[in-house]
Structure 1
Amino acid sequence: MTKTPTRWRTVVALLAAVVGFVGTAATAVPAQAAQPAPAGPPRMADGFGLTQVDTTVGGPTNFYLTVTTPEVTGKHHIKIILPSGYYDDPARRYPVLYFLHGSPDDPIQQTYPALTTSNAMITVIPDGGPRGWYANWLNQNTVLGAQNWENFHLNQVIPFIDANLRTIATKKARAIAGVSMGGFGAFHYAQDRPDLFSQTASLSGDIDLSADSMDLRLAAVATLVDAQGVVCASASGFCDPNNDPYKPGVDSDALFGSPYPVFNVDWRWNAVDPSQHMDKLAGVGVSVYVGNGRGVPTDLEFWLEGASKHVKDRMDALGMPYYYVDYGDGSAWGTQCNGGHTGYCWEQDLRDLIPRLERAFAS
């Protein structure tokens, strides 16, 4: 009768020894140490049709690359803004905001302070060209060469970023927003690939290119054919007539075919017009920001307000949820925004949008 307790004492001792060993081993493994922040931008590996050329410029959390791609002729910048704590936790992954610039800007010019405020997401600003219109052009044989901007962004830039940075590579953790021409691009891409994006936002975007907004359609055509006087007048000071970004001009049909609404020859324009296809954004968070240009028809914002209202009416008819801000003459923002087509207003749009995106990503 005395042997059983002895055996149990032996078993308990062995178990205690095993537990002690496991506990010691577990505590002996140090926590994953933070990576020291590099002195400059992180290394990015070529791939997905992108080849890096020239030197990457900037610091460890705010820099830009220069790449080439067979999809679009020339060299193209991709600006990347990482959270300030990106190197503190090498196991942490982040959602991504893809931010599309307007015409005739460049990623390097996107210096809105609001874009650097987030510690919860990565921001990527790819080149869209001075008049690329975030589309695969119908005519690939103009003097400009290959113009497959949608392929470049959706099939190359996004997987390139996911492969090189600690992203959360899911629809829920990916948003796309844009200014002016980029507002069109943001809605167009989200409509074409709703599987990629959970949120989309237009900041003073050309989101109605239908015959209901022929003024905006013709403004897009003006960038193609290099109607310099029209473009510079509508760009509210962003276009320097002595340094024309729209040269050389191309045919008005190069982008989406004939833009003229006669006998339905403009059907390709209608096919890509965001306002006519808002149903494709079911399940995607939609945000629209616009001013009124102070009621001055020479300010592009005056016409964009009408376009945004058309989109709002379409969403109301569909019973879609959305977030809509018409800040009028800008007094609602209480800053230098005067309701015009200006960066002062877009900075305030972004200060409202970015915390909302962070909350959506975290939900």
Structure 2
Amino acid sequence: MARASKCWRLTATGMVTALALALALALALALALALALALPAGPAQAAGDTAPPPLTNGFGLTQVDTAVGGPTNFTITVTTPEVAGKHHIKIILPSGYYDDPNRRYPVLYFLHGSPDDPIQQNYSALTMSDSMITVIPDGGARGWYANWLNQKTQLGTQNWENFHLKQVIPFVDANLRTIPTKKARAVAGVSMGGFGALHYAQVRPDLFSQTASLSGDIDLSVRSMDLRLAVVASVTDALGAICGSASGACDPDNSPYKPGVDSDALFGSPYPVFNADWRWNEVDPAAHMDKLAGVDVSIYVGNGGGVPTEPEFWLEGAAQHVKDSMDALGMPYHYVDYGDGSTWGTQCNGGHNGACWEQDLRDLIPRLERAFAS
């Protein structure tokens, strides 16, 4: 009888031990699951796959059509209630993105110019980094990276700022292995996108540690009325005012800015009469450089070879106004005026073109990589 009792006690002890082990295992699995849900794993894809990785809809973005490209350089198409129509988002991943599933990356948001599209942003410099992700969202032919004052034009809803800052950024952070912090996030852009880069960093300095303008429309004050009116021309489809160039190329019948809408649709009245243009002054990057305290600023510009019909000729003055503002504030910055381009790469002629912007990016991207790594 005593022997049987001893056996029962050993069995009970074993059951308690087994139960404790099972509970510990369950807790460990629960903790592992919680951690897995808390940190996005990124695309579940092997390095040898040839298709773009699967991304999950969210934050108001719905993917439509089929992603185009390969595993590290691809374009998705999305819809959003914030901006009418379909919109491309181009994503460039480091070549070794799939090699280490635990590695996370900083992100460069690159904003295209007018009337371009993300698909057309084929600068080789954007694909050379092995240490950061690049995201190129659609900014529209003349969206100007802003929430438009008039949302009831023929163009439909035009909340580009909301689309990018409130939807694209969290969508990217949720789907890719990003480092979702200010220090690990930069915004840069060319032409219209140069305005967008400084504007976004000014309205949300908590999101970006670096901002860069490449030949940007970064002074919209009356000092640069020529640039303000160029913006108005894109909104109203005054094609003759914006498509003229040194080559004389102009095709009003195939304007990318159709249909034209009212000149006040974007930021209200652009005309400086009785302070009617106050909204333009509110979004003028040159007037608000103080908002970029704590954000590293880079400015690149040429002079169009001194030819007044070349847009860069006028953008140089806008860049100088921004530089003067930063000097007055005692701000640090990186400023490159490459003039006629003769010392800036082998193809740059100082004009408003991709050859000069390619060289800008070859200077900018290594500096971003060093800043992210510091």
CA distance in 1, matches of 2:358, 2:165: 26
- Asked if 1:73 is matched to 2:84, the reply is yes
Q: Which residue of 2 aligns with 1:10?
A: none
Tell me by how many angstroms 1:36 deviates: 3.3
CA distance in 1, matches of 2:183, 2:220: 28
Q: Which residue of 2 aligns with 1:285?
A: 296
CA distance in 2, matches of 1:135, 1:271: 12
Which among 285, 303, 325 is matched to residue 314 of structure 2?
303
Which residue identity is paired with 2:65?
D
Query: What is the CA deviation profile of residues 100-128 of structure 1, one whole-angstrom value per residue up to 9, with x for unaligned ones?
Result: 00000000000000000000000000000
Tell me by how many angstroms 1:237 deviates: 7.8
Contact persistence 1:236–1:342 (CA under 8 A): no
Q: 1:72-111 residue pairs with structure 2 within 5 A?
A: 72-111=83-122
CA distance in 1, matches of 2:236, 2:322: 27
Tell me by how many angstroms 1:39 deviates: 2.0
Which residue identity is paired with 1:110?
Q
Which residue identity is paired with 1:193?
R
Contact persistence 1:235–1:300 (CA under 8 A): no
Which residue identity is paired with 1:128?
G
Query: What is the CA deviation profile of residues 67-91 of structure 1, one whole-angstrom value per residue up to 9, with x for unaligned ones?
Result: 0000000000000000000011010
CA distance in 2, matches of 1:239, 1:126: 27
Query: What is the CA deviation profile of residues 118-170 of structure 1, one whole-angstrom value per residue up to 9, with x for unaligned ones?
Result: 00000000000000000000000000000000000000000000000000000
Tell me by how many angstroms 1:236 deviates: 7.0
Which among 32, 46, 52 is matched to residue 63 of structure 2?
52
Which among 48, 62, 67 is matched to residue 73 of structure 2?
62
Q: CA RMSD in A?
A: 1.3
Distance 1:50 1:222, change over 3 A: same
CA distance in 2, matches of 1:51, 1:61: 21
Q: Which residue of 1 aligns with 2:232?
A: 221
Tell me by how many angstroms 1:332 deviates: 1.3
Tell me by how many angstroms 1:335 deviates: 1.1
Give the alignment's TM-score, normalised by structure 2.
Answer: 0.86
Contact persistence 2:345–2:359 (CA under 8 A): no
Tell me by how many angstroms 1:62 deviates: 0.3
Q: Which residue of 2 aligns with 1:270?
A: 281
CA distance in 2, matches of 1:198, 1:191: 11
Q: What SS does the aligned partner of 2:108 have?
A: strand
Q: Which residue of 2 aligns with 1:9?
A: none
Q: What SS does the aligned partner of 2:254 have?
A: coil
Q: 1:140-289 residue pairs with structure 2 within 5 A?
A: 140-234=151-245, 241-289=252-300
Distance 1:337 1:237, change over 3 A: farther
- Asked if 1:348 is matched to 2:367, the reply is no
Which residue identity is paired with 2:259?
P
Q: What SS does the aligned partner of 2:170 have?
A: helix
CA distance in 1, matches of 2:193, 2:149: 19
Distance 1:128 1:236, change over 3 A: farther
Corresponding pairs, count: 330
Query: What is the CA deviation profile of residues 254-281 of structure 1, one whole-angstrom value per residue up to 9, with x for unaligned ones?
Result: 0000000111000000000000000000
Distance 1:318 1:74, change over 3 A: same
Q: What SS does the aligned partner of 2:226 have?
A: helix
Query: What is the CA deviation profile of residues 202-235 of structure 1, one whole-angstrom value per residue up to 9, with x for unaligned ones?
Result: 0000000001100000000000110111111159
Contact persistence 2:240–2:250 (CA under 8 A): no
CA distance in 2, matches of 1:117, 1:352: 12
Query: What is the CA deviation profile of residues 146-195 of structure 1, one whole-angstrom value per residue up to 9, with x for unaligned ones?
Result: 00000000000000000000000000000000000000000000000000
CA distance in 1, matches of 2:109, 2:330: 27
Mean Cα deviation higher: 232-241 or 347-356: 232-241
Tell me by how many angstroms 1:321 deviates: 0.2
The percentage of aligned residue pairs carrying the same residue is 82
Q: Which residue of 2 aligns with 1:5?
A: none
Which residue identity is paired with 1:277?
H
Which residue identity is paired with 1:183?
G
Q: What SS does the aligned partner of 2:314 have?
A: helix
Query: What is the CA deviation profile of residues 310-340 of structure 1, one whole-angstrom value per residue up to 9, with x for unaligned ones?
Result: 0000000000000000000001114111000
Which residue identity is paired with 1:195?
D
Which among 149, 155, 168 is matched to residue 138 of structure 1?
149
Distance 1:42 1:98, change over 3 A: same
CA distance in 2, matches of 1:76, 1:185: 17
CA distance in 2, matches of 1:300, 1:79: 27
Which among 120, 134, 137 is matched to residue 123 of structure 1?
134
CA distance in 1, matches of 2:103, 2:245: 44
Query: What is the CA deviation profile of residues 36-91 of structure 1, one whole-angstrom value per residue up to 9, with x for unaligned ones?
Result: 34221000000000000000000000000000000000000000000000011010
Which among 299, 321, 332 is matched to residue 343 of structure 2?
332
Which residue identity is paired with 2:68?
V
Any runs of at least 4 consecutive aligned residues in structure 1 with deviations exceeding 3 A, and if so which? Answer: 34-37, 234-242
Which residue identity is paired with 1:160?
F
Q: Which residue of 1 aligns with 2:31?
A: none
